Every structure is written in structure tokens, then in C-alpha cells.
Amino acid sequence: MARNLLPLTEVEDRRRIAGLLASHPEIPDDLLEQIASDEDPLTAYPVLRYSPGLSVDLLLRRVETGPDSLRKAIANRSALPESVIDALCADADEGVIRILLGRDDIGLTSDHKAKLGRRSGLLAKIGPELASRDAIGTGSLVGRFLHLPAALKAEAVAEAEMASLVRQVRRPGSSSGRHRGGSQHRLTDGLVRQALAQNKPRFTELLSQALSLPRTLCDRLLNDDQADGLVVALKAIGLPATETTSILIRLFGDQLPLGDIRALRRFHRTLSLGAAETLVGQWMLAETDALPLSDARHAPQFQQGNPARERLAPSRSEEQAVAAFKKTAS
């Protein structure tokens, strides 16, 4: 009878009932699950927090649907199955993740850490805290470089430098891109020419083709808050410091102070080619798991069939330079 009458009960009364029954040892589990499934979060909260007999399926469902107030209730339960921890790592906000990190009885597995490391928005909010607690999967920072706060980007570069060194030890003499001859010079000239002309569509298309990166990602590298990402991309191509500086000044001179431009030059100078290649190589993989990049400023600047495409497309010599560059870099 209680199960039948509960949906007809006023919200305030359901909340009082939930508070009274949540930890009562003789309440049938199916009634508790009905309360825990209530659409009113304040009704569901005490049962999700204190009732020990709830099914794993119900907990997973509530983690998926939220809101985060209920995820906090679940994160504070006395015992958490690993599958529920996994779901929280995938869906919960930073407050819930902090609860998990603060529990002495919970140790995050490598799978949990990998899930946290793939969440760009979470890394932007509490990335340094996650890193200090060893709660980010190995290599996650490298792939998420473009989404990281400044405090974590240095760690991502350090990871990339280490990965590059390991690769060189395992495959000595395999360094790529240091002797690319004429194709390298033609590609460099093309990038500099388009940057100086403020022709951003052509510039990003050349960059996209040379590095086999999505156009949306290359478009994003021209935002002033991603200038360090552009430096990484240019270093991976093998662009010399002088040409890189010319591009930075032309593309970001109006948005960034001189001190920031100098810092970007230093970054280009200290970043190894191998680390830059490692970072860029992981960006494509990371973009597969990243949040949808559908906002307008990241949309492609032209579509196939657009009459303007022929005017914006790189010249034949630039296309040949890109093709030759990619062939020698492979």
C-alpha cells in the first residue's frame, strides 16, 4: 500500500518520510528503491546516502541522471562498488571527485584515473589538485594540453619530453623532421606568408594538412589563449625561431602583451622537437574523447562546395610543399 500511495503524497510529506525511513533496518528494499528513484532530489537524497540495501543498478542510474547533489550522496555512502566509483569518475563534478579523493577507504585504479584524465572540463577546474594526488592517468596531460590550466601545461610538456627521450633510447637515430630540405622551406614560407597576410583560413588549412590535425583544432590554435599550442604545432613542423616569432607577432601582437610574446619565444626555444611531435601526436587521439567542439567559433570556416573555397584554398606550390613535407616526415 505504501508503494502505491507514495507517488500521490505531497513533496514535503515524501521528504519527511524519506528522512524517517532511510536508515530504518526493517523497511523493504523495494520501497527504499522507490524513494531513491523519486524525481525530487531532496526526497531521494537521504535514502541514497544512508540506505545500505540499494541495488548497484539503481546507484548507477542515479549517477548517470544526477543531479550532482545526489552524486554527492552516493559518493558519501559507507561502501561503494567499483562500478559506481567508475561511473562517478566519468560523470560527477569536481565537488564529488573531491569526496572520492578524500576517502581513505577508496583507492582509484588506473582505469578511474584514465577517466578523470580524459575529462577536459574537470582538468581545467581541479587539474593541479588531481595531479598532486596522483589521480590522473599517465599520459593524460599530454593529450589534454590544449584544455589544461597553465599550472598543468608545464607538467604536460615534461611528460612529453620524457616520452620523447624514451622513444629515442628505444629507437636511436629515429628522430624525424630535422632534415626536410626544400619541402620544409616551402612549407615554412607558405605559413609565414599566410600569417603575414592575415589569411587565417589558408594558414590553418596548411597547418591542418601538414600535421594531419582537424581543421577545428587548428582554428582553435589561433585563439590567443591557445598561443602556446600554436607554438607546439609550429615546433613539430620544424619552424625556426625567427619565422615562429614573425607568425606570433602577426597573429597575436594585437591581443597579447610583449612579455607574453617573449615567453612564447622562450617556450619555442626550450621545447624539443621530439616533445612537440609527441604532444601533437596525442592531440588527435584526445580530440576523439573531448567535449563536442560545436560552438560557432570552432566551426570550419568554409565548406565543400562553397564558391569561396577556390579562392581560399592553398596554392598548388603550397599543396606540393605540404605533401612533400608529410612524405619526408613519415
Concatenate the DSSP letters of all residues of 105-119 into one string.
Answer: T----HHHHHHHHT-
Place of cell 587521439: 285
User: CA-to-CA distance for 177 and 290, rounded, in angstroms?
Assistant: 28
Question: In the structure grid, which three cell numbers stand for residue 291, read together?
Answer: 567535449
* pLDDT grade for 279, boundaries at 50, 70 and 90: very high
> Which residue type sits at 150?
A
* Whether pLDDT at 133 is above 80: yes
* Predicted pLDDT of residue 323: 55
* Predicted pLDDT of residue 139: 64
* Whether pLDDT at 5 is above 70: no
What is the pLDDT of the chain when averaged over all its residues? 82
Q: What is the pLDDT of residues 110-130, one digit of tens each?
A: 899 888 988 888 888 888 888
Q: Which of 17, 25, 64 is nearest to 34 (CA)?
A: 17
Percent helix, strand, coil in the chain (nearest 5)? Answer: 70, 0, 30
Gyration radius of the chain's alpha carbons = 26
Question: In the structure grid, which three cell numbers stand for residue 266, read together?
Answer: 622562450
pTM of the model: 0.65
> Which residue type sits at 55?
S
* Whether pLDDT at 329 is above 70: no
Q: What is the largest CA-CA distance in the chain?
A: 83
Spell out the domain ranges in the chain: 2-144, 181-329
* Residue 2 main-chain phi, psi, to 5 deg: -60, -40
Burial class from Cβ neighbours inside 10 Å (0-12, 13-18, 19+) for residue 282 reads: buried
User: CA-to-CA distance for 67 and 27, rounded, in angstroms?
Assistant: 25
